[in-house]
């Protein structure tokens, strides 16, 4: 069994893995922003709800969250689960989970912008949304890039957790082939795939970070 044949067999799974990765980022990054804004809101009830949400997402295993979200419609509401829901459940679980982590990263970014920036904007006539979009957000983005990179790299590897509900992502397939052929090769190939994927992610993030290097805070 050559590496090339293994890779060919894994191809379909790679597509699913990349899809989980991209869709999760697409939904969780903006959702995390919404969560952090609610978390920092002056309304104590809203803020408390967000703290509970973040605490649950961070305090329980992602694998458990995936399983619960997949089976909840049937066990709780007695709705029959269609096979297409499997992939949707994975995306929902990943997005909710990663939104919580991103929210906390964003929060550290917001906290690190000096209060004087808000005050300067205020006396210069910026309204709240102008202050947020023109002054604060660009600085937050620069500050959170390194921890966000870290989180995105973790996400690449976490996609393998989708195997918990038998999603046909790459790792699930690699395990099946490995068991059938009694060979470590498919798992090695999977490892190589994750490594290359992450090298690209790290390179991309470093490029973005460099673009923000033109000023110091």
**Binding residues for other proteins (CB under 8 A):** 114, 116-117, 119-120, 122-126, 130, 134-135, 138-139, 142, 214-217
Pick 17 or 139: Cβ nearer other proteins: 139
* Burial (Cβ within 10 Å: 0-12, 13-18, ≥19) of residue 8: exposed
Q: What whole-number distance in Å separates Cα of residue 134 and Cα of residue 132?
A: 6
CB of 150 to other proteins, least distance (A): 23
Per DSSP, the three-state class of 129 is helix
CB of 78 to other proteins, least distance (A): 52
Instruction: Mark 97-121 as b/e (b = at least 16 C-beta within 10 Å).
Output: bbbbbbbbbbbebbeebeeeeeeeb
Pick 72 or 124: Cβ nearer other proteins: 124
Per DSSP, the three-state class of 158 is helix
Q: What whole-number distance in Å separates Cα of residue 78 and Cα of residue 196?
A: 42
Pick 53 or 126: Cβ nearer other proteins: 126
CB of 207 to other proteins, least distance (A): 18
CB of 116 to other proteins, least distance (A): 4
Pick 61 or 114: Cβ nearer other proteins: 114
């Amino acid at each position: 069994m050559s590496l090339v044949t293994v890779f060919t067999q894994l191809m379909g799974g790679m597509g699913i893995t990349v899809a989980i990765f991209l869709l999760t980022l697409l939904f969780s990054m903006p959702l995390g922003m919404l969560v952090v804004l609610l978390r920092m809101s002056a309304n104590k009830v809203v803020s408390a709800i967000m703290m509970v949400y973040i605490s649950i997402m961070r305090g329980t295993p992602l694998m458990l969250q995936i399983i619960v979200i997949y089976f909840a419609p049937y066990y709780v509401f007695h709705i029959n689960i269609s096979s297409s829901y499997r992939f949707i459940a994975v995306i929902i679980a990943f997005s909710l989970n990663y939104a919580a982590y991103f929210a906390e990263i964003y929060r550290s970014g917001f906290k690190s912008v000096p209060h004087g920036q808000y005050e300067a904007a205020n006396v210069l006539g910026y309204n709240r949304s102008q202050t947020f979009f023109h002054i604060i957000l660009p600085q937050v983005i620069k500050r959170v890039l390194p921890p966000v990179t870290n989180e995105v790299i973790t996400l690449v590897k976490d996609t393998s957790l989708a195997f918990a509900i038998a999603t046909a992502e790459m790792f699930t397939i690699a395990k099946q082939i490995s068991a059938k052929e009694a060979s470590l090769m498919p798992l090695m190939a999977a490892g190589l795939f994750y490594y290359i994927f992450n090298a690209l992610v790290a390179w991309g993030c470093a490029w973005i970070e460099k673009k923000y290097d033109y000023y110091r805070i």
